[in-house]
Amino acid sequence: MTDTNSFKGRTVIVTGASRGIGRGISRLFAQAGANVVLMARGQEGLDAVAADLDPDRTMAMAGDVTRRTDLDRTVNAARGRFGRLDVFCHNAGIYPETPLEDVTLEEWHTVIDTNLTSTLLAVQACSRAMREQRYGRIVLVSSITGVRVGYPGLSAYSATKAGMLGFMRTAALELAPFGITINGVEPGSIRTEGLAGLGEEAIASMVEHIPIGSLGEPEDIAHTALFLASDGARFITGQSVVVDGGQTLPEIPV
- Catalytic residue positions, numbered: 157
Instruction: Report residue 95 CA to chain centroid gap.
Output: 14
Cα separation, 81 vs 233, in Å, equals 27
H/E element, 171: helix 155-175
H/E element, 118: helix 118-133
State which amino acid sits at residue 183: N
CB-based burial label for 60 (10 Å; 0-12, 13-18, 19+):
buried
Residue 58, beta-bridge partner list? 36
Exposure string (b/e) for 104-131, b if CB count within 10 Å is 16 or more? Answer: eeeeeeebbbbbbbbbebbbebbbebbe
Q: Under 8 Å CB-to-CB from 218, ≥6 apart: which residues?
A: 20, 21, 23, 24, 25, 190, 191, 192
Distances (CA, A) of 253 to 52, 155, 206, 207: 40, 22, 11, 12
- DSSP 3-state assignment of 226? helix
Cα separation, 63 vs 57, in Å, equals 19
